Amino acid sequence: MPTITLRLELHNPTKVKQDMYERMTEVNTAFANWLLNHPKLNQATSKLFKEFSSQRFPSAVVNQTIRDVKSQRKHQKAKRFKTLWCCFNSQNWNVERKGEFYTVSFPTLEKRIGVPVVTRPYQEAWLNRLINGTAKQGAAKLYKKRKKWCLAIAITFEVKPRHETKVMGVDVGLRYIAVASVGTKSLFFKGNQCAFVRRRYAALRRTLGKAKKLHMIRKIGRKESRWMKDMNHKISRQIVRFALANGVGVIRMEDLAGIRKRTASAKEAGRSLHSWAFHQLQTMIAYKAEMAGIRVERVNPTYTSQTCRCGYRDKGNRNGIHFQCQKCGYTIHADLNGAINIAKAISGFAA
């Protein structure tokens, strides 16, 4: 069952509330660090908190923290928690619709009341699914980011696998950031704009680098990442929508994991430069496909861009965005040819 995480900002919590959330986090972190070295951690129940402190603290949070600390001690050499946000398991928080807006309630140091949250339309759709029971809620976490208190909630849901059998290939690259192909249909996303924006940011970074303005460089880096992420969200959404509209049951993409090490061709060298962006795009496509019940397969990327439909393979077949077979003369857009070969998995599947 796929899981997604919704991040909901609490709507204008009062200063008193914010201070309380702060205090809860402090107490929780201190308790977790105290627990880490406790000899009876494995038998710990929520009653153990009384040994730690006489103040009142929600036992739902205590239970969750005990679980976290146990797994922390089991899986790694835990030293200290810098911050351990308060978490609530699925039975201990709730979402409700109150007219125009949504409220969430979770255990705090005060009486439990619903707190309004800021929602976007797609988040409202998920909250409605929780309320009508077509999706299941998981754990929730109360945390602060950029001075704003938020609740991260996990949601799981079932997906009916699609019975369609058509296979779509998706090629990612620099000139065209993505090309999708299924049967005789295709969809192109030009990379020019991405390349342009990335170049502009790179130039800005160079200028700032000379002035040693590290802080600004990092800030720009984050801005660029956000821009790219937003772009990748849009592209992946359109690709999956295109797949659904064309009866696709399987999406195939290249397995780009090994490319960073090899850089055998200019195309690959370019891709390795921007590998995080391509990886992110592929991950988003895979994730959105899975949510729609489409199976995702990874194929071996070798020769996808050099091979003709007649079977002849030659580096010279490809010249930039032009593909012309040196043997049979067949011509096609090079990235579309790549997408078609990916759909056919001409070099087999990734191990």
The token duo for 266 is 């200019």
* Closer Cβ to Zn ion, 30 or 332, answer by number: 332
In angstroms, the CA 271 to CA 285 distance is: 17
Residue 188 as a binder of Zn ion (CB under 5 A): the answer is: no
Which residue among 203, 310, 322, 349 contacts Zn ion (CB under 5 A)? 310
CB of 328 to Zn ion, least distance (A): 3
* Closer Cβ to Zn ion, 143 or 312, answer by number: 312
Which residue among 247, 265, 312, 324 contacts Zn ion (CB under 5 A)? 312
CB of 135 to Zn ion, least distance (A): 49
CB of 321 to Zn ion, least distance (A): 18
Provide φ and ψ at 114, rounded to 5°.
Answer: -75, 135
* Closer Cβ to Zn ion, 310 or 321, answer by number: 310
The alpha-helical segments, DSSP class H, found in 37-120 are: 49-52, 59-75
* Closer Cβ to Zn ion, 32 or 308, answer by number: 308
CB of 317 to Zn ion, least distance (A): 8
The token duo for 214 is 């590290």
In angstroms, the CA 96 to CA 114 distance is: 8
CB of 265 to Zn ion, least distance (A): 19
* Closer Cβ to Zn ion, 46 or 324, answer by number: 324
Q: Are strands 86-88 and 136-145 parallel, antiparallel or unpaired?
A: antiparallel
* Closer Cβ to Zn ion, 325 or 340, answer by number: 325
CB of 308 to Zn ion, least distance (A): 3
CA distances (Å), origin 274, targets 225, 259, 339: 11, 11, 19
# residues contacting Zn ion (CB under 5 A): 7
In the region spanning residues 320 to 339, those forming contacts with Zn ion, defined by CB under 5 A, are 325, 327-328, 330
CB of 311 to Zn ion, least distance (A): 7
* Closer Cβ to Zn ion, 303 or 330, answer by number: 330
In the region spanning residues 280 to 309, those forming contacts with Zn ion, defined by CB under 5 A, are 308
Q: Is the dihedral of CA 203, 209, 214, 216 positive or negative?
A: negative
CA angle 216, 222, 227 (to 5 degrees): 125
Alpha-carbon Rg for the chain, nearest whole angstrom, is 25
The alpha-helical segments, DSSP class H, found in the chain are: 15-36, 49-52, 59-75, 121-132, 192-210, 214-245, 259-262, 266-273, 275-291, 334-344
Contacts to Zn ion by CB under 5 A: 308, 310, 312, 325, 327-328, 330
